[in-house]
Structure 1
């Protein structure tokens, strides 16, 4: 089991019937966000990425958290540039989830 998924399960966070990290019913969604809502796998990737991001930003102090927020903003701009291209969006999520997983893997843990 992937460490991040294990952590989500261990913390008792909801894993059933996920929805995107934003409200898919809003009329103000842009085409990129509507595409993510329309495809279950993209929706699931969004939930995974958002959960990892929230978890990690809660673990770090202001300096590192600020850098992570800057990185997240840059990533969101890159994902938005995908428009409605599902392959591009999928790859964008894979890359960001990988980056967040790498940050998690580098956290010092007691032996």
Structure 2
């Protein structure tokens, strides 16, 4: 149990550091806001809360992708593609986008808590 806490603390620290670096970057969202053309992308770039959720989602996705085994990565990528389709369907509706991002962030955190922390790769 102590080992799990230690690993959890390390992952938390790495995640927090990644968020700090992302927050300082010129491109705050997980995509380049200067190239945003679609209504959903423009809404994410224009809304600080959505932007922050996008950064969190991007960092969690990247972390999950690195920590999951091969088959899990393929499923994760498929889920991310489905998320992006759903995001596009929201258009510029902030409420729709916020709900979608919150659910995606929760799902990505759940992967770390239930699959990575309990099954490895440690």
Number of aligned positions between the proteins: 108
Measure the CA separation in 2 of the matches of 1:39 and 1:11.
21
Which runs of structure 1 show a deviation greater than 2 angstroms over 4 or more consecutive aligned residues? 3-7, 9-13, 15-18
1:14 corresponds in structure 2 to 21
TM-score for both structures, normalised by structure 1:
0.84
Structure 2, unaligned stretches of length 5 or more? 1-8
2:58 is the alignment partner of 1:50: yes
TM-score for both structures, normalised by structure 2:
0.77
Structure 1, unaligned stretches of length 5 or more? none
2:5 corresponds in structure 1 to none
Q: Structure 1 residues 72-81 or 44-53, which shifts more?
A: 72-81
Measure the CA separation in 2 of the matches of 1:17 and 1:86.
24
Cα RMSD of the aligned pairs, angstroms, is: 2.5
Larger fraction in helix: 2
